[in-house]
Amino acid sequence: MHTQDELENILKAQREFFKTGKTFDVSWRIEQLKKLRDAVIEYEDEIEKAMFEDLGRSQLEAYFCDIGSIILEVNEIIKGLKRWAKPETHFSGLTCFPSLTTKVYKVPYGNVLIISPFNFPFLLSLGVLAAAICGGNTAIIKASSKSLNSTAVLQKIISKTFSPEFVTVIDGGHDVADMCLAMNFDKIFYTGSPKIGKHVMEAASKNLTPVVLELGGETGNWAIVRKDANIKDAARKIAFFKMCNSGQICININQVAVASEIADEFLQALKDEIERQIGPSAIENPEYAKLITKAAYEKCASEAELYKDRIVYGGKGNPDTQKFEPTIIYPVNIDEKIVQHELFNPLLPVVPFDDKDIDKIMDVVASREHGLALYIFTKNLRWAKKVMATQQYGGGCINEVCLHIMVKGVPFGGTGHSGMGSYHGKWGFMEFTHPSSVLIGKTFGNLSLREHPYTGKKAKGKKTLLKLFER
């Protein structure tokens, strides 16, 4: 258990290290990023083992979702960092004559706090750390108290790779997180629920600390399956994603709205795909992930019990292993409670609608809190692109799931109750640096347009010139 004094001393040491200016050296940052990447590769087996112990994640799923994604992210940053960090040169404009050159420097925030979740204990800590390092910051990572084995490995990796005055990992529960939030960091990055996100933002406001919030969205992420969709393809992808990490993913599908014209065919295809991919009994399959805690299992089981008369597939679990089957609930009305909150488990409510009423469905989605993701399955790409361009959500896919977060060069982040700020690649660099505009003045040839007098004959000439320049 950490004390407030211990945490303050860690931050103090990081402040002193930042003041040395070492982190401003872009080449030095790249060296640290290479160390981070190499450490992830070196400890691959331990990372996979820890995620199996905490979440029941298989080796392949652990590599695809956490390890490989971190390597992909770090390599992208290493490749682009020198280009991103280069100061920009801008023409100041004739109003500033003769001082015609302005530079924009990308300055590190300083000392950042990263609060990471249990569901992707390495990706959502080390992936964020990579962005913080590329911006030239030091970092304290407050790792999850729920994924204890992963937190222990995370501490080992960081302690053997970096000095604590540069990066350190601390463990503990909400009390430790609150101690951290009471400290005066320069930036806070939190991944988790909207409820705790509000608490983080409130605490940060006391020090006017800027925050990045990556949240799941209060009313969950929708998948929309229209009557012209490729049913088997949609079912295959939705089944895969809903089973991934047993539904404990912030961008996972919370509920599906399916056109009633194809609902029966879609449900059968979904059942077939679940069994094809995981077998007839998911909870007996060692590849299928478990729910993180007994409390999470019981919450899932209790909600399933409320809808037991409408469970058309699954519905059973094992409290000893904390595994609960992929569970399809149908039919569900769009106004029912189960589709108005984030589930974060393998329950999948399915809402039927008449395809001619698709605009009404999208209006309901738009009226609720903004999700972190939106997925649309249809052959009508013109309609789908229009929806994606006008709805408010974090990110998403047309005729696909989740892969948008693995695309190089594009941002990942939420809006409203699904968060604020974004990262990945260049967007992470921008999130962890402040752009400082600096005009380089000349000491001769200065115009007196800005100076008194503001009346009389000279003022008339000045105004003429200002009208010419300021446009």
- What are the domain boundaries of the chain? 4-217+419-434, 221-368+373-411, 441-469
Who contacts 208 (Cβ-Cβ below 8 Å, separation ≥6)?
Answer: none
Write the pLDDT tens digit of every residue in 36-56.
999 999 999 999 999 999 999
pLDDT at residue 462 greater than cutoff 90? no
Identify the three-state secondary structure at position 38. helix
CB 176 within 8 A of CB 73: no
Of residues 96, 250, 397, 402, which has the active-site annotation? 250
Active site residue 250: yes
pLDDT at 131: 98
β pairing state of 88-91 and 221-225:
unpaired
CB 188 within 8 A of CB 212: yes
pLDDT at 230: 98
Of residues 214, 218, 342, 431, which has the active-site annotation? 214
Token pair recorded at residue 83: 């280009």
Write the pLDDT tens digit of every residue in 149-162.
999 999 999 999 99
Binned at pLDDT 50, 70 and 90, residue 67 comes out as very high
The per-residue b/e assignment along 276-301, b for 16 or more CB within 10 angstroms, e otherwise, is ebbeeebbebeebbbbbeeebbeebb
Q: Which amino acid is at 92?
A: S
- Percent of the chain past pLDDT 70, that is, above it, reads 100
Active site residue 300: no
Binned at pLDDT 50, 70 and 90, residue 359 comes out as very high
Write the pLDDT tens digit of every residue in 150-199.
999 999 999 999 999 999 999 999 999 999 999 999 999 999 999 999 99
**221-368+373-411: CATH homologous superfamily?**
Aldehyde Dehydrogenase; Chain A, domain 2 (3.40.309.10)
d(C-alpha 330, C-alpha 148), whole Å = 36
Please give the angle made by the CA atoms of 405, 411 and 413, to the nearest 5 degrees.
Answer: 80
The full DSSP string for 329-378 is E-S--TTSGGGSS---SSEEEEEEE-GGGHHHHHHHHHHSPPPSEEEEE-
* CA dist 296 → 120, 122, 230, 303, 449 (Å): 16, 20, 34, 11, 67
Q: CATH: 2.102.10.10, 3.30.465.10, 3.40.605.10, 3.40.50.300. Which one for 4-217+419-434?
A: 3.40.605.10
pTM of the complete model: 0.95
pLDDT at 453: 87
Write the pLDDT tens digit of every residue in 401-442.
999 999 999 999 999 999 999 999 999 999 999 999 999 999
Binned at pLDDT 50, 70 and 90, residue 449 comes out as confident
Average pLDDT over residues 313-326: 98
Distance of alpha carbon 389 from the chain centroid: 20
Binned at pLDDT 50, 70 and 90, residue 87 comes out as very high
